[in-house]
Amino acid sequence: MQRVFLSPPHMSGREQEYIAEVFKSNYIAPLGEYVNKFENSVKDYIGAKDALALSSGTAGLHLALRVLGIEQGDFVLVSSFTFIASVSPILYQKAAPVFIDSDESWNLSPKMLKKAILKLPKKPKALILTHLYGQACKMDEIVEICKNENIAIVEDAAEALGGFYDKKALGTFGTLGVYSFNGNKIITTSGGGMLVGDENLVEKARFYSTQAREPFLHYEHEDYGYNYRLSNVLGAIGVAQMEVLEDRVVKKREIFQRYQESLKEIEFMPEIKNSRGNRWLATALFKGKNDHLKVIDALFKANIESRPLWKPMHLQPLFKGALSFVDGTSEDLFSRGICLPSGTSMSDESLDLVVKIVKENL
Mind listing the pLDDT tens digit for each residue in 285-305?
999 988 999 999 999 999 999
Write down the pLDDT at residue 197.
Answer: 98
Q: Where in the chain is the domain with CATH 3.90.1150.10?
A: 245-360
Write down the pLDDT at residue 29.
Answer: 79
Look at residue 232 and tell me whether its pLDDT is greater than 80: yes
Q: Are 164 and 135 in contact (CB under 8 A)?
A: no
CATH of domain 245-360: 3.90.1150.10
**Residue range 49-66: mean pLDDT, rounded:** 98
CA distances to 6, 130, 188, 200, 252 from 174, in Å? 30, 12, 23, 14, 25
**Residue range 312-317: mean pLDDT, rounded:** 98
- Note the helical H segments in the chain: 15-25, 33-46, 57-67, 88-92, 110-119, 139-149, 199-209, 232-242, 245-262, 291-301, 329-336, 348-360
Q: How far is CA 317 from the centre of its chain?
A: 22
Write down the pLDDT at residue 263.
Answer: 97
Task: Count other C-beta atoms under 10 Å from residue 101's C-beta.
Answer: 25
Phi-psi region of 106 (alpha: psi -120 to 50; beta: other; left: phi over 0): left
Task: Count other C-beta atoms under 10 Å from residue 45's C-beta.
Answer: 15
Mean pLDDT of the chain: 97
Write down the pLDDT at residue 302.
Answer: 97
Fold of the 15-242 domain: Aspartate Aminotransferase; domain 2 (3.40.640)
Task: Give pLDDT tens digits for 99-156.
Answer: 999 999 999 999 999 999 999 999 999 999 999 999 999 999 999 999 999 999 999 9
37-41 contacts: CB < 8 A, separation 24 or more? Answer: 37/235, 37/239, 38/189, 38/230, 38/235, 38/236, 38/238, 38/239, 38/242, 39/194, 41/238, 41/239, 41/242, 41/243
CA distances to 50, 64, 204, 205 from 68, in Å? 16, 6, 10, 10
Q: How much is the pTM?
A: 0.96
Angle at 306 between CA 305 and CA 308, to 5 degrees: 150
Q: How many whole angstroms separate alpha carbon 193 and alpha carbon 180?
A: 4
